[in-house]
């Protein structure tokens, strides 16, 4: 299968530290870095997981480097602080240097389009609406934006529990979107069309990137069998696997 990913990417950095005392100048821990790890994040993390599941992937993303640095207690795995650098990027039109326009990417022979929108400035609602209108294959959307009529041509919209609460008053105004929603609810599992798909209780070490893994599993399994219920169950399994490991983990 060939999948097109469009969205903003970042570098996920984890700096693991020894924390043994409190700073005398202020009530904060003193961090002594011992090791670090970097992974491609956001849309690029979706790509990494899709490739791990055997898909061929084309990526359209920002060239500027957004960086999320997490400082973590090496012994407990507890995140102490996160620092985001270059948190905004140029819009998709800035890719003109490639000599290609947006329709070029959509008109390629893809089996699915995945829009991984972290609201860092790469895509606006008009861009997403245009992509969905031009696509001749299933379109999956993961967005931090307020939902509206602009996503009416999306096939499936994956949002987490917090994002669903933010949209609680808006969604009833767009009844056509309700059956498109796939709501991830953390340790409770996932909800679609008022049906809860539970997950087993497991020791959770890090939820960073789990939503990207869920989205990758959902897309691949749906393309294999054209059954969204089975795709959700598989996506749950994928997310359950990675939350038991530290950092942003690939399947």
Widest pairwise Cα distance in the chain: 61
State yes or no: pLDDT of 10 exceeds 80: yes
Q: What is the pLDDT of residue 108?
A: 72
Burial of 7 (0-12, 13-18, 19+ CB in 10 A): buried
Please give the structure tokens belonging to residue 206: 């890090």
Q: Which residue has the tokens 């009844």?
A: 175
pLDDT in tens, 136-187: 899 999 999 999 999 999 999 999 999 998 888 888 888 889 999 999 998 8
pLDDT tens, position by position, 83-119:
999 999 999 875 444 555 666 667 678 999 999 999 9
**Cβ contacts of 169 within 8 Å, gap of 6 or more:** none
Do residues 115 and 131 make contact, with C-beta atoms less than 8 angstroms apart? yes
112-117: strand order across its sheet: 56-60, 2-7, 112-117, 139-143, 156-160, 181-184, 190-192, 195-197
CB 59 within 8 A of CB 5: yes
Mean pLDDT of 62-88: 93
Long-range contacts of 92-95 (CB under 8 A, 24+ apart): 92/6, 92/60, 92/122, 92/123, 92/127, 94/62, 94/63, 95/60, 95/63
Find the Cα–Cα–Cα–Cα dihedral 192, 197, 201, 206, rounded to 10°.
-30
């Amino acid at each position: 299968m060939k999948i097109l990913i469009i969205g903003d990417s970042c570098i996920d950095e984890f700096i693991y530290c020894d924390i043994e005392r409190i700073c005398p100048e202020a009530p904060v821990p003193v961090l002594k870095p011992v090791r670090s790890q970097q992974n491609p994040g956001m849309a690029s993390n979706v790509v990494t997981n899709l490739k791990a599941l055997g898909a061929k992937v084309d990526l359209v993303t920002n060239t500027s480097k957004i960086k999320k640095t997490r400082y973590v207690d090496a012994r407990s795995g507890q995140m102490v602080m996160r620092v985001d650098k270059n948190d905004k990027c140029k819009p998709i039109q800035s890719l003109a240097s490639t000599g290609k326009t947006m329709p070029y990417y959509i008109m390629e022979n893809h089996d699915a389009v995945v829009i991984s929108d972290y609201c860092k400035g790469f895509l606006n609602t008009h861009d997403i609406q245009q992509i969905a209108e031009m696509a001749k294959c299933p379109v999956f959307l993961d967005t931090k934006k307020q939902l509206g009529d602009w996503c009416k041509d999306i096939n499936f919209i994956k949002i987490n529990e917090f994002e669903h609460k933010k949209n609680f008053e808006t969604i009833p105004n767009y009844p056509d979107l309700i059956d498109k929603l796939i709501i991830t609810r953390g340790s409770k599992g996932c909800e679609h069309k008022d049906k809860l798909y539970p997950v087993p209780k497991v020791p959770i070490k890090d939820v960073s990137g789990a939503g990207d893994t869920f989205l990758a599993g959902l897309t691949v399994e749906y393309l294999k069998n054209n059954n969204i219920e089975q795709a959700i169950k598989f996506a749950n399994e994928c997310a359950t696997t990675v939350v038991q490991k530290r950092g942003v983990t690939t399947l």
